[in-house]
Structure 1
Amino acid sequence: MKLSKILYKPVGLAIGATSGAVAGAVFGQVWKKLGHDEDAPDATDEDRSWREVLLAATLQGAIFALVKAAVDRSGAVATKRLTGTWPG
């Protein structure tokens, strides 16, 4: 295994944690903009409809995947620029 790939592991973990936090914040803002309550429903919220719970879960998953892919890709590109090798 190349040294650059080994060194990228802790950076990748930090990037992953950061992307999760960013995705959560983005989802919260989008949920508010859509005119819903301050907090998105949990699957076990008795007072929320199936439609609202599933819509929130779908939106949250899509935003998480988008942000994670963008952050991971940016980290890989930056690593390539700094080390000359792709971390994947």
Structure 2
Amino acid sequence: MSGKVSKLAYKPVGLLLGIGAGAVAGLVFKEVWKLTAGDDDAPNATDEDRGWGEILAAAALQGAIFALVKAAVDRGGAVGVRKMTGQWPS
């Protein structure tokens, strides 16, 4: 299969995986925040009752979790496309 076909084959797969990854990452973040902060709700940047440290820590943790899940899902999707098409999506 040509590189163009494998790239086209990966687009819908990547889109669906990205949506799923966002949902999974959000759930993981909520659970990790509960365990680390002992609070059910992570702070929003505009939460007047939370300090800078807590807000920035929550944002950093959320960003790290989203990046980790996205990288794992993107890599898994590319491996799956290669198995189906014989070509690595570019």
TM-score relative to the length of structure 2: 0.92
Partners of 1:42 and 1:65 in 2: how far apart?
A: 19
Higher RCO, Cα 8 Å, sep 6+: 2
Which consecutive residues of structure 1, in runs of 5 or more, have no partner in the other structure? Answer: none
Match of 1:84 in 2: 86
Structure 2 portions without partners, runs of 5+: none
Q: Does 1:30 align with 2:66?
A: no
Q: Which runs of 4+ in 1 moved over 3 A?
A: none
Identity, in percent, stands at 65
Asked whether the 8 Å contact 2:9–2:81 carries over to 1, the reply is no
1:38 CA displacement: 0.5
Give the TM-score normalised by structure 1.
0.94
Amino acid across the alignment from 2:43: P
Letter in 2 for 1:30: V
Who is 1:47 aligned against? Answer: 49
Give the aligned length.
88
Instruction: Deviation per CA, 1:19-55: give whole Å up to 9, x if none.
Output: 1111101101100111331110000000001000000
